[in-house]
Amino acid sequence: MKKFSFLIIVYVFCIVCFSGDFVRILHTNDFHGHILPKVDRDGNEIGGIARIAKKIEDVLSVHPQTLVLDAGDFISGFLYANFDTGETVVEIYKQIPFTAIVPGNHEFDYGYENMKKILAPFEDKIVCANVYSRGKRVYQPFIIKEVNNLRVLIMGVTTPEIKRFALGLDEAGVFVSLPQNEVRKILSQNRDKFDVSILISHIGFEEDVKIAQEFADLDIIIGGHTHTLLKVPPVFNNTIINQASAYGERLGFLRAYYEKVNDKTVMKYFNSNLMIPLASWGENKIIKNLVDKAEQKVIAISTQIVGEALDVFPAGKKDVRMGETEIGNLISDSLLYLSKADFAVMNGGGIRASLNKGAISAADVEKILPFKNNAIVIKVTGKKLIENFENSLQGLKIPKLSGAFLQVAGMKVEYDLENEKVMLFTKDGKAIEKNKEYTLALNDYMKNGGDGYLFKECEEINSYITGKPLKDVLTEYIRKVQKVSPKKDNRIVIK
């Protein structure tokens, strides 16, 4: 009898002390088209969008007012998304009952107009306060949902970096404002309309922290962009921040409990679980069918033959980061040939697979250049070019072996390791003039500061390759020449 009385007391205590309401959130970010399960380092098969959809379905069947949020970058970045510029992933995402989505920078990979077209099915679910076109917001800045007797405001912001990566933004008069300015405006103008505020952001963890530290009346941030795995969500200035890694390897489940205290809604406690999608979850049958169809299409496309390699093009890590390589020459030559630029460069760290002798498939090219980098052409002075090759020299030093080391075309490079000097020449052996302006083909990763390069201020010019995925440039070049033979011609000399 005493035990029973004790349980009653505990039950009454819980009712009195925790008489409030839950906000439950299922969240994903940076999916990048990884629709199929994959094997992790421990040999476990994890991920898969059909499993994630089934878990969302199961949770909603028990807690139907659960919010389902996505923090962007879902249509691009992997073979199963890239083969049809994201349409297949959109068809799959349409089957998932998302409450709200914020577009990431990779939603703009195929241009502004394509982004608008491909995201049209989510028009009523997209929240993005800081992207404007011709002075008007492209999407609604926020929505308000009734959740377990709480008015929940859900707003979204994306990274201003899209201005550096996307095509067609200037033509559409696109302006991307600072995220914190929009958050400040929304919170201040709508204080009497919500009890709990949520920001879906695609600006990265460090930027999320800055926003949390500035706005004490912001309750939750569901983030993306930096692929951060937050097993224990940090709290800054009363704001919970969560992010669930990337590639569908986790499904975030955040539960926060709120009470009304003196006309204010106060968070009493919360917990979080970044769930690993396993086979035991089961699969959503409709989505599984869409995934199977996509897989067959990709297999058909990836097995398409684009040309022939007459011998092996090695691409060991040390090879592409220590000197001239056959694969580096092939990629750089493709950039030079199609761009008609004076010179072309490729960072060694972006080359990730060798090319074997025999038929070359689209899948082979994907393995060589797996990153979502586009080709561009810039104007650069000889002085600026030499300065940037000094960065390549630093990358060459052992044991650093940085991915910054440059493979080249249309030029000759001499590195003097002992005296830490680099000398640049045209392919005809003429020294590159410091005051002369040249055209340089490269990828946008380097242009935007990747691997420590300083090309940001260089003017971009229109070229046939501008905006083309790097892998498409290589594929087109191989298709044109049909048979490629590995070669070294002493275009890089290391003393």
Same domain, 229 and 345: no
* 7 assigned to some structural domain: no
Number of domains in the chain: 2
Predicted local confidence at residue 401, as pLDDT: 60
CA dihedral (184, 190, 191, 192) in degrees, to 10, reads 180
Quick: pLDDT tens for 248-291. 999 999 999 999 888 889 999 999 999 999 999 999 999 999 99
Residue 388 sits in a domain whose CATH number is: 3.90.780.10
Q: Residue 2 pLDDT more than 70?
A: no
Same domain, 272 and 366: no
Same domain, 202 and 348: no
Same domain, 328 and 230: no
* 349 assigned to some structural domain: yes
Report CA Rg, the chain: 26
* 14 assigned to some structural domain: no
Which residues, at least 6 apart from 375, have a Cβ–Cβ distance to it below 8 Å?
335, 339, 441, 442, 443, 444, 465, 466, 467, 468, 469, 470, 473
Q: Residue 308 pLDDT more than 90?
A: yes
* 3 assigned to some structural domain: no
Q: Residue 350 pLDDT more than 80?
A: yes
Same domain, 197 and 345: no
Q: Residue 410 pLDDT more than 90?
A: yes
Between CA 67 and CA 57 the distance in angstroms is 12
Same domain, 162 and 226: yes
Task: Determine how β-strand 220-222 pairs with β-strand 239-242.
Answer: parallel
- Domain termination residue (choose one: 297, 321, 348): 297
* 1 assigned to some structural domain: no
Residue 83 sits in a domain whose CATH number is: 3.60.21.10
The confidence band for 398, taking pLDDT boundaries of 50, 70 and 90, is low
Domain that holds residue 64: 20-297
Q: Residue 294 pLDDT more than 80?
A: yes
Q: Residue 304 pLDDT more than 70?
A: yes
Between CA 477 and CA 333 the distance in angstroms is 9
The confidence band for 5, taking pLDDT boundaries of 50, 70 and 90, is very low
* 399 assigned to some structural domain: yes
Q: What order do you get walking across the sheet with 358-361 strand by strand?
A: 358-361, 305-309, 483-484
The confidence band for 4, taking pLDDT boundaries of 50, 70 and 90, is very low
Q: Residue 189 pLDDT more than 60?
A: yes
Between CA 200 and CA 124 the distance in angstroms is 15
Which residues, at least 6 apart from 28, have a Cβ–Cβ distance to it below 8 Å?
52, 69, 70, 71, 74, 244, 248, 251, 252
The confidence band for 194, taking pLDDT boundaries of 50, 70 and 90, is very high
Same domain, 57 and 75: yes
Top pLDDT among 172 and 474 is at 474
- Domain termination residue (choose one: 247, 268, 297): 297
Same domain, 251 and 391: no
Same domain, 255 and 335: no
Same domain, 115 and 234: yes
Predicted local confidence at residue 166, as pLDDT: 65
Considering the chain, what percentage of its residues have pLDDT values greater than 90? 73
* 196 assigned to some structural domain: yes
Between CA 427 and CA 411 the distance in angstroms is 4
Between CA 100 and CA 201 the distance in angstroms is 11
Quick: pLDDT tens for 358-367. 999 988 998 8
- Ranked by mean pLDDT, the top range of 79-83, 333-337, 390-394 is 333-337
Predicted local confidence at residue 400, as pLDDT: 56
Considering the chain, what percentage of its residues have pLDDT values greater than 70? 94
Same domain, 331 and 198: no
Q: Residue 235 pLDDT more than 70?
A: yes
Predicted local confidence at residue 474, as pLDDT: 97
Q: Residue 8 pLDDT more than 60?
A: no
Predicted local confidence at residue 167, as pLDDT: 62
Top pLDDT among 369 and 299 is at 369
Between CA 103 and CA 72 the distance in angstroms is 5
* 388 assigned to some structural domain: yes
Cβ atoms within 10 Å, residue 137: 14
- Domain termination residue (choose one: 263, 297, 331): 297
The DSSP secondary structure of 106-152, one letter per residue, reads GGGTT-HHHHHHHTGGGTTTB--SSEEETTEESS-SEEEEEETTEEE
Same domain, 291 and 368: no
Average pLDDT, the chain: 90
The confidence band for 399, taking pLDDT boundaries of 50, 70 and 90, is low
Please give the span between the terminal C-alpha atoms of the chain, in angstroms, as a whole number.
Answer: 89
Q: Residue 78 pLDDT more than 80?
A: no
